[in-house]
Amino acid sequence: MDLAGLRRHLAANVRTLAALVEGLTPDEASARTRPGRWSSHEVLHHLVYEEREDFRKRIEWTLFHPGEDWPPIDPAGWIEEQRYPDESVEATLAAFATERAASIAWLERLEADGQLDLGASNTHPLAGTMTVRDLLASWLAHDHLHLRQLVRNAYERGGHLTGVAETPYAGDW
């Protein structure tokens, strides 16, 4: 695994995320483009919580609490319960950037100290046995899935802004 490359891409994704939400009005950021889809602001909040409560914590648990169950999380439930603070998109983005920087520094320390055992594993109740390598790969993939979600929101918002939902001249979605 190219750990330096992984950290570089995790850091770059903060800038990509910022570019995707730059210029959104509060109404645009909080609007769900379709029923059942998360708003762009909800995606940002989700990423903050995932950074704090999922990937970093589960890697830590796998490395330093072997055999113990991971603390439970409910990301989709948190969205539906509207557990996220009432703050601006900029504040949420700043919180994510802070958490991501802490995660990257933490990964660097683990690697430098020889504590990042990529083969260490734990069992997820649905996904089965997962190694630290699997968690790191999933962390990066999770970013990309939500970046794709934000791009889809932007695409659909464009249809709302222009009043033109079908744009075959632009190309197929």
The domain spanning residue 80 has which CATH number?
1.20.120.450
Both tokens assigned to 106: 């933490």
- The confidence score (pLDDT) of residue 84 equals 67
pLDDT at 142: 97
Helices within 22-122 (DSSP H only) = 26-30, 40-50, 56-64, 75-80, 89-112
| Average pLDDT per block of 10 residues along the chain, 173 residues long | 97 97 93 90 93 93 92 82 78 96 98 97 89 97 97 89 85 81
- Taking CA atoms, 59 is separated from 51, 139, 167, in Å, by 11, 10, 44
What's the number of domains the chain is made of? 1
Residues spanned by the domain of 148: 3-170
Q: What are phi and psi of 90, to 5 degrees?
A: -60, -40
At 15 the pLDDT is 97
